[in-house]
Structure 1
Amino acid sequence: MTITSQTLGWAGVDTPDGRFTAIFDEDGVVYASGWTDDPAYLHNLVAPSLRGDALEDRDGREVIAAVEAYYAGDLDAPSRIRVRQTSGPFLTAAWAALRQVPAGPPVTYTELAELAGNPAAIRGAASCCARNAAALFVPCHRVVRIGGALGGFRYGLDVKQSLIDREVAAAAA
């Protein structure tokens, strides 16, 4: 689906990991999000076919409430918000699989490839995380290398470690 005349909204909120901003449509569907105060940066992460033609500051009540709920301990809150990303079949399947990974101990790229239906696509699983525009709502921070090394994270390894620590502690409680 190509969107040619849609205006996407953005809103932000302060979190313990820094300013979090999300881009969403009029129905509250998230297109991009992450720990930045620059909506233009996030807008550039949206696939061109979905980007629309304008970006404006909006309320974003449900989207921001999900982020606040996450930081208040409802680690599943972001999974209840719809997300729209587009790519090829494997990345689409991997993003969907990633949304099913529960908070707690992270999975490996190998495990994500298996969950996405192609156990041999380990590099594809890494690409899924690297190309994910909707951080937190598609929880790419929940994927690590075999052995537990963090791998990469668009918003810094300190944020990724903070998220993992929060989720592992909650799962252990």
Structure 2
Amino acid sequence: MIAAQLIPTPIGPLSLLSREGVLVAAGFTADPKEMYARLTPALQAEGLEVVDDLGAASEAVRAYLAGDLHALDAIPVSQPGSPTRKRLHEALREVKAGTTVSYAELAERAGLPKTAARAAGSACAQNLIAPFVPCHRVLPSSGGYGGYYYGVPVKEWLLAHESGGITYP
């Protein structure tokens, strides 16, 4: 069974989906079913149950919002993808809060050639576990914020929060 919890945040509700203590999806949506629909058919076959508390994952979100910007790093995550995509997602988790990288830099950190920037962009676009796999920390080298699955204002808020520009009680 996939367990889901909805957590209020200053930028809207965050849906967390967990299987046996490992996050399989997270995203800024008020309906956990939106995240559930993005899971593999095998995971969807397990069913979805909304719960009051996912424990460590929900505690990490509250700590992150309170200023412990590394709290999300300790939560185990699992998402599907090719070996290349998995390397890119692992490299994303190593980008520290308060810093950003370009798509080319992300590819390089994953041990891929700089020409793999397009693959890095695809890995960000297909990321199922935001902000735990922090694709919001990747910016285009041409400037600006680029896109974000949950909208650029959410990306801007996350980056401002991590740079100390926003405090949340």
Same fold, TM-score > 0.5, yes or no:
yes
Paired residue secondary structure (1:53): coil
Note the alpha carbon deviations across 1:121-149, whole angstroms, 9 max, x for none. Answer: 10000001000000011000000100431
2:164 paired residue number: 169
- From 58, 80, 104, the equivalent of 1:86 is 80
Counterpart Cα distance in 2 of 1:113 and 1:47? 25
1:47 corresponds, among 14, 29, 40, to 40
**Match of residue 139 from structure 1:** 134
Shift of 1:67: 0.6
Q: Does 1:159 align with 2:154?
A: yes
User: CA-atom RMSD, angstroms?
Assistant: 1.3
Match of 1:117 in 2: 111
Q: Which 5+ residue runs of structure 1 have no aligned equivalent? A: 1-6
Between the two proteins, the alignment pairs up a number of residues equal to 163
Q: Cα deviation per residue 1:56-98 (whole Å; 9 max; x = unaligned)? A: 0122121111111110001111110000111111100000110
- SS of the residue 1:94 aligns to: helix
Structure 2 residue 10 is matched with structure 1 residue 12: no
- Could you tell me how far apart the structure 1 residues matched to 2:151 and 2:17 are? 20
TM-superposed CA distance for 1:38, in Å, is: 0.7
Match of 1:3 in 2: none
| Counterpart residue identity of residue 9, structure 1 | A
CA, structure 1 residues 49+118, in 2 after alignment: closer, same or farther (shift >3 Å)? farther
Alpha-carbon distance between aligned partners in 2 of 1:52 and 1:67, rounded to the nearest angstrom: 27
CA contact (8 A) 1:10 1:60 kept: yes
CA contact (8 A) 1:8 1:52 kept: no
Cα offset, 1:51, TM superposition: 3.5
* Equivalent AA in structure 1 for residue 22 of structure 2: V
User: Aligned-pair distance for 1:104?
Assistant: 1.1
Distance 1:49 1:93 in 2: 22
Could you list the runs of 4 or more consecutive aligned residues of structure 1 that deviate by over 3 angstroms after TM superposition?
Answer: 49-52
Tell me how far 1:52 sits from its aligned partner: 3.6
**Aligned counterparts of 1:150 and 1:160: Cα–Cα separation in 2:** 8
Select which of 141, 144, 151 maps to 1:149: 144
